Amino acid sequence: MDLLGEGPAVALVTGQRPSGTPRPIYLTTFLTLVTALLAALIIAPDSASAAGVSDVRTVHTNQETEGDGPRVPDIISTSADNAVVAWREGTLPGRVDEGYIRYSYTTDGGAKWSHPKVLAQETSEYLWHYVTLYQVGDELFAYLGRTPVLDDSETDGDGNNDNGLPINDIVVKRSTDQGHTWQDYAVDMPLDDPATPADEGLGNLAFAGRPLQLANGDHVMPYWASGRENGVLYSTDLKKWVARPAIPDPNKYMGGEPQLTVSQDDPNKLIMVARSNYAVSKVSAVTATSDNGGQSWTDWALDSNVPSNDSKVFFTTDSAGRYLTIANTSLDASAYRKVLNYKVKSPGKAWAAAKLFADGPADDPTPAGTGAGWDTYPMADEYAPGKFFVVWEHDTSAIKVSRLDISDT
C-alpha cells in the first residue's frame, strides 16, 4: 500500500537535503582534509582515531542571569563550516522556562562563534518559552513559543507567570543567510488561545524536536501539548499547520519533548522518541511508530535500548541509516542531568554500548541556583555523513557545542 498515494511516504531527509550555498565541493573537501591533517599533527599527535567527541567549545556563557540561565538550545548546520545555535536565556529572578531567545553562528566550523544576537526580545507583555530550528533547502526556520509576563491562574497568587505557561502564541522567523539574520514569517498554528473559552486547538503547543520533510515534499513536526499529548503537525506549505491525532498512551508513560525520525528499516515508517515520566521509568525512553505519516500511531512503549532520565532525549537517523541517541542516563539522583552519553545503532545490528558524550565541571556557578554541573538537553545536526555538530546546555550558565563523529561505527 502506498501510504500517502504519492510514492514513498517518508524518506530520509538527511539524504535528500539540498546543499546550501553552492561551493566548489572538492576544493572545500580537500582544504578540510588538509586542515584536519594539520590540526591532528600540531594539536593532537596522540589522537588514535577521528571518531568520537572533539572540538568542545563554549558558544556563550552568562553567569549573571537572573532567570534559569541559558538553556534548551538547538542547532542547524548548513555546511561543515557554517552552523547556527539558538537558545532561551532567563531574565527574571525565580522564573523558569521563560526568557528571551538569543542566537550565535559560526563560519569556521565551530572554532569561533559570533557575539550573541537577539532572535526574540522580551517585552513588558511577553516572554519566550522555546526555540526550535528547521532547515528546508536554503531556508532556515525558527519556531518560538510565546508566554505572558503576567498569569493570574497560578496558585501562588502573585500574578506573575513563573513557569513559562501558558503558550499564547507561536511566532516563526525565517533566515535565508544561514542564520545570520532573521525575518518574521507568518504561520497558522493549531494553538488554543488561553484567553478565550473556545477551543481553538492544542493547549500549550510546544516543539522540542526537529521537523522533517517527507518524500512528497510535505512537512511533519513533532509536538507535545497539555496533558502530555504528543503527535505531529502536518503542513504542505510551511504556512498552515494541522494537528494530527495524539499518540495513544494507555499506560500513562506521559512522553515529552518528542523527537521525530525515520526508521532505519523502513523508509515509510516514522519513529517518535520521547522522555518518559520519572514516575514511570528512570532509565528508558518511550517510542511509537507510524506508517502513515503520523495520521495514526502505535501506543507509546518503553524501549530499554534508548535511555531517558526525565529530560530531553535527542534521537535521529543519519544519512547512512544509523540511529544516534544522546541522553542523560544516570540512575543516581545526585547525578541527575549531569552526564550525557551517546549510543549508535547501525542498520541490521544491535545497539552499541553507550559512550561518554559530555560531563563538564560540577562546580560552575549556576546563577539560578539550580542545575550545577548539568550537561543536558542535547540537539544535533549532521554536517557530513556520520558527522554532527551537537549543542547542549551546561550548568544553566553556558551553551556548548562539539563535534561528534560516528562515521566509523
- Which helix (H) or strand (E) is 306 found in, with range? strand 301-307
CB of 162 to Ca ion, least distance (A): 4
CB of 95 to Ca ion, least distance (A): 8
169 interacts with Ca ion by CB under 5 A: no
Q: What is the DSSP string of 77-97?
A: ESSSS-EEEEEEE--STT--S
Q: Find the binding residues for Ca ion in span 247-266 (CB under 5 A).
A: none
Residues 6 or more apart whose CB falls under 8 angstroms from that of 248 comprise 297, 298, 299, 300
* Alpha carbons 314 and 402: distance in angstroms, whole number: 15
* Alpha carbons 36 and 26: distance in angstroms, whole number: 15
Residues binding Ca ion: number (CB under 5 A): 18
CB closer to Ca ion out of 219 and 394: 394
* Cell numbers that stand for 251 in this block: 499506560
CB closer to Ca ion out of 82 and 147: 147
* Alpha carbons 223 and 148: distance in angstroms, whole number: 20
CB closer to Ca ion out of 281 and 397: 397
Neighbours of 60 (CB within 10 A): 21
177 interacts with Ca ion by CB under 5 A: no
What is the identity of the amino acid at 35? T
Nearest to 81 by CA among 409, 403, 408: 403
CB of 198 to Ca ion, least distance (A): 5
| Contact (CB, 8 A) for 182 and 176 | no
CB of 357 to Ca ion, least distance (A): 11
Query: Distance of alpha carbon 65 from its chain centroid, rounded?
Result: 23
CB closer to Ca ion out of 162 and 218: 162
Virtual CA dihedral for 341, 347, 352, 358, nearest 10 degrees?
-20
CB closer to Ca ion out of 154 and 405: 154
CB closer to Ca ion out of 143 and 392: 392
Q: Find the binding residues for Ca ion in span 107-166 (CB under 5 A).
A: 151, 154, 156, 158, 160-163, 165
Select from 68, 81, 97, 192 the one that contacts Ca ion (CB under 5 A): 192
Select from 196, 348, 350, 363 the one that contacts Ca ion (CB under 5 A): 196
Q: Find the binding residues for Ca ion in span 74-113 (CB under 5 A).
A: none
Instruction: Candidates 118-126, 136-144, 198-206, 346-354: pick the segment binding Ca ion (CB under 5 A).
Output: 198-206
What is the identity of the amino acid at 62? N
With 0-12 / 13-18 / 19 or more C-beta atoms within 10 angstroms meaning exposed / middle / buried, residue 265 is: exposed
Instruction: Candidates 72-80, 193-201, 268-276, 397-405: pick the segment binding Ca ion (CB under 5 A).
Output: 193-201
Q: Find the binding residues for Ca ion in span 328-387 (CB under 5 A).
A: 338, 359-360, 373, 375
Q: Let me know the angle formed at the C-alpha of 236 by 230 and 241, rounded to the nearest 5 degrees.
A: 40
CB closer to Ca ion out of 192 and 382: 192
Cell 497560578 found at: 154
Backbone angles phi, psi at 13, to 5 degrees: -65, -40
CB closer to Ca ion out of 61 and 160: 160
Select from 138, 169, 177, 193 the one that contacts Ca ion (CB under 5 A): 193
List residues near Ca ion by CB under 5 A: 151, 154, 156, 158, 160-163, 165, 192-193, 196, 198, 338, 359-360, 373, 375
